[in-house]
Amino acid sequence: MSTLAIVGAGSWGTALAIVLSPRYSVVHLWTHETDLADRMVLSRENDIFLPGFSLPANVQPTCEMGTALLDADVVLGVMPSRFARTLYRRIADYVRPETQFVTATKGIESGSLLRISEVMHQELPPGAQIAVLSGPTFAKEIAGGQPAAVVIASQNADLCTRIQTAFSGPTFRLYRNQDPVGVEIGAALKNIVAIGAGICHGLGLGHNTLAALITRGLAEITRLAVAMGGNPHTLAGLAGLGDLVLTCTGDLSRNRHVGAELAKGRSLADILSSMTMIAEGVETTSSAVALARKHQVEMPITEQMGALLRGERSPREAIRELMERSLKEETPNIL
């Protein structure tokens, strides 16, 4: 047994602290909010991001980065993508050469268009061991002990095996994958399609529309992932199709909620201001549009979601634009 440091105490970070607590002697759970850390220490509950679930006795909340990373064998980053670079720059001051890093952040860095593992390689010490964790998961279900399967991805096969062994438990199963590009692109871009799924729901559209959106959404995510060096088979697995289906159909999906509220006529600013947690798809959309243009990949759903979020299309106009595109053949594979 060893020490795990989780950086980011949102709903997902807290759920991971709960499910991984039996696998470690100590789990440090870092939050930047001093008052939240104090309350979690006293009440043993994250009352803002994951109320109703008790923190195990070996989970130690803190707002001190040095304390969180003390003797950590594994550092698990679960911060929003907008804070990743700043936090990994701080983390670099405390870690040891043998420390293993896992990112569970689902997003693309705005401006640089880098995947989060690429940001980590820039900010952490040279030679840092980095893996990516992703898959179809809702925090409340993980915290509640419901069975789930996810992917751990790294080009370092030995690291994948070590994290797989360390993290897997009775209700949390990990599969190894050596394609971090495909896993990270799938994780980030499924949130964009989920906004579209919420729009379909908010407009009262049925299962036919949703099935078409998910299928064509997967196709364009796969096109971009392959153009960036990913493996198309990755997108047919848990980190691609699995996560996409969950996020597009589940009522717990924040990004789907954003789309549904937009379809009701609420402004994006009003929706986001009323949410406790971040909907990563809103920020990821502009980055995905830029990546599609950079790699010359056709991504019509992403383009329409970008126009919608910029206020250039109404929800109904976005759906109409997708349906009125020029007719073409569907190729026999997902591409």
pLDDT score of 122 = 98
- Alpha helix stretches (DSSP H) within 51-179: 65-68, 84-91, 116-123, 139-143, 157-167
Q: What structural domains does the chain harbor?
A: 3-178 (3.40.50.720), 181-323 (1.10.1040.10)
What's the pTM value of the predicted model, to 2 decimals?
0.94
Q: How far apart are CA 115 and CA 311, in angstroms?
A: 26
Chunk the chain into consecutive blocks of 10 residues (it has 335) and report each block's average pLDDT, rounded to whole numbers: 93 98 98 97 97 98 96 96 96 94 96 97 96 97 98 97 98 98 97 95 94 95 97 97 96 93 92 84 91 96 94 90 81 54
Which active-site residues does the annotation give? 190
